[in-house]
Amino acid sequence: MASSHLAGDGPFSKQCQAWLERTLGCARALLTHSCTAALEMAAILCDIQPGDEVIVPSFTFVSTANAFVLRGACPVFVDIRPDTLNMDEQQVEKAITPKTKAVVPMHYAGGPCAMDVIMEIAERHGLWVVEDAAQALLSTYQGRCLGTIGHLGCLSFHETKNIISGEGGALLVNDTRLVERAEVIREKGTNRSRFFAGEVDHYTWVDIGSSFLPGELVGAFLFAQLEQAEKIIAARRRIFDLYHRSLRPLEEAGLVRLPWVENDSVANGHLFYLIARTTEERTRLIKHLDACGILAVIHYVPLHSSPAGRRYGRTAGHLAVTEDLSGRLLRLPLYYEMSDEDAGRVVASVQEFYSRPS
């Protein structure tokens, strides 16, 4: 496809957006610079005002909370479930106050939060639901794609994710009432997209907004990735399944815990983690793997214990599960071109660690 269009929303970007709308099933998909940018757009669309509260997990990436803090909100951190490591839906209702405006579930490792419960609570209390689906492209929950269940969903195409464009993301607008305003906010607060659609004869400043759309080079790169999405995800799931199968005996022996896979969901093989019995054991396992030439890394420092999290947010209840599991979790290598042999080597090194007397 030849095109001299280099700014945003050229033919490649449009193909990406059409692909996302068709494949995931959402009213409108808008490419952004990043998932962070999509979350910032979501905060504007939810009309977050200074003093509002937003319920978020503490075990997540900073942008889940930061996007709302930028609009003056206080992130209220809730604990995670020990099985899925996702926001504990039982804690959400208890965290609601008259100031609460939105709930932001994050689908860790591409595995789904209990969206049916979260949506039901949000509807009862008149709250927005913004899914941080940065890791969850093409994962499903009860047959629906993650990111398409809340009022808004945010995807990432950062190079650390499954489908990439270097930096990149998308806002999925599922609530049709928000589509027009989303387009305005993304185009610097102008009604430029209505102008291009021939709906108005000039465009002007109509709302707050910023430049949230990526250039066409990003769209071109991303479309090539989306065309291969099934293949990329199948390869990652093959490695995920290999790890799961091979390490099951260690889990059955009570030595490690593996990612939990629920029956009514399909995860996208985004990452594979182990939970060691203690933080000290995790440190030794990471060292052992390092000595075998294998890079295993920890994940989030809980946001409620971070300097900015303490300054801008507060906790709802005691985040015991978050504090415990974040200190014991490590991620094993998992990438598209990883061979079964390489994954087998990682498994053998983990097995070796647990077969030695400590």
Contacting residues toward ligand PLP, per CB under 6 A: 34-36, 60-61, 63-64, 106, 132, 134-135, 156, 158, 169
Closest to ligand PLP by CB, 62 vs 347, is 62
DSSP string, 108-147: GGGPPP-HHHHHHHHHHHT-EEEEE-TT-TT-EETTEETT
CB nearer to ligand PLP: give 10 or 111: 111
* Comparison of 136 and 247: residue with beta carbon closer to ligand PLP: 136
At residue 25, the 3 state secondary structure works out as helix
CB of 35: closest distance to ligand PLP in angstroms? 3
User: Sign of the C-alpha dihedral, residues 26, 65, 70, 218?
Assistant: negative
Q: What is the DSSP letter of 214?
A: P
Give min distance, CB of 157 to ligand PLP, in A: 7
Q: Decide if 45 contacts 178 (C-beta within 8 A).
A: yes
> Could you give the CA distance from residue 306 to residue 325 in angstroms, rounded to a whole number?
16
Residue with Cβ nearer ligand PLP (271 or 274): 271
| Tokens 């595995």, residue located | 111
Q: Residue 245 CB, nearest distance to ligand PLP (Å)?
A: 26
Q: Minimum distance between the CB of residue 291 and ligand PLP, rounded to whole angstroms?
A: 29
Both structure tokens of 40: 């910032």
Based on CB atoms, which residue is closest to ligand PLP, 151 or 158? 158
Considering beta carbons, is residue 38 or 350 the nearer one to ligand PLP? Answer: 38
Supply the minimum distance, in Å, between the C-beta of residue 155 and ligand PLP. 8
Shortest Å, Cβ 156 to ligand PLP: 3
Pairing status of strand 128-132 against strand 100-103: parallel
Half-sphere exposure of 193 (CA within 13 A, CB side): 18
